[in-house]
Amino acid sequence: MITIGQCRAARGLLDWTQQDLAEACGLSKTAINNFEKGHSDIKIESLRAIRMAFESANIEFLPNDGLRKKGEHVEVLKGSMAFSDLLDDIYAALKDKGGDVLIANIDDDSLRQVSRQKIQEHRERMQRAGVSERVVCHEGGSPLAAPAACRWLPGSQTTSAMGFCIYGDKVAMELWDKNLIVIITSPEASKAERMRFEYLWEMAKPFVVMQETDAGRQGR
């Protein structure tokens, strides 16, 4: 679960005192001190709480008592398969732990790069994994999710906006070149972009399904 050496090392990486760790994991400072000195048997639940506190602070545990602080990672997807590869990365990141996907300003051109079958298969596998989606798109655009989870922004709000997608600790940004997507793995960036998405979500209008009139069908 976590060793005494890992506990001390993780505190050192984070510059945490025993009191800082105690507050983060919900244990007493005395319990932390006794554990690190090997003076008492500690419950599995307490070890799990300590480990989760460190993992929430971006510590990654490695084999052989190793650990490291996770750094930001940048990946670039290029070419005609970039958007399809992004869908695969979203699924890979969330398939085991669930969560949500927040998408904004991804336009119809991006959708046309992916086959209808691929999009449908992606939606189905995300549903099976218990992943929810919310989408903000430009007014009149095609939603990437069910209508209930999609809202429209006025065109003036999206004219020069960069498309972005947030999932887990990742932020994917669609650059002006439609065949280029940059994925940043960073808890801090994810948190900041989630706040920006919520701001857009509040400004946006509920998605309206456009239904064809009887007159329109008869005129065909």
Reported as a single tens digit per residue, the pLDDT across 64-121 is 778 887 776 778 888 888 899 999 999 999 999 899 999 988 766 677 778 889 988 9
In this structure, the chain runs to a length of 220
**Nearest by Cα to 26 from 55, 44, 53, 56:** 53
Distance CA 182, CA 86 (A): 10
Helix axes 4-14, 44-56, angle to 10 degrees: 30
In DSSP terms, 134 is beta-bridged to: 102
The average pLDDT across 159-168 equals: 78
pLDDT attached to residue 107: 65
Q: Pick the more confident residue, 165 or 178.
A: 165
What CA–CA distance (Å, rounded) separates 204 from 8?
48
Q: Compute the Cα dihedral for 40, 44, 46, 51 and give only its sign.
A: positive
Cα(172)–Cα(53) distance, integer angstroms = 27
Closest CA to 120 of 85, 93, 145: 145
Give the tens place of pLDDT for each residue, 15-61.
899 999 999 999 999 999 999 998 878 899 999 999 999 999 988 88
Per-residue model confidence (pLDDT) at position 5: 87
Rounded to whole angstroms, the Cα distance separating 85 from 131 reads: 18
Range(s) within the chain of domains with CATH label 1.10.260.40: 4-69
- Alpha helix segments (H runs only) across 15-66: 18-25, 29-37, 44-56
Q: Identify the three-state secondary structure at position 61.
A: strand
Helix H or strand E encompassing 212: none
Placement of tokens 């119809």 in the chain: 108
**Considering the chain, what is the average pLDDT of its residues?**
83
> For the domain 73-206, what is the CATH code?
3.30.870.10
Cβ pair 193, 166 in contact under 8 A: yes
**Which regions of the chain carry the CATH code 3.30.870.10?**
73-206
| CATH code, 4-69 | 1.10.260.40
215 band by pLDDT with thresholds 50, 70 and 90? very low
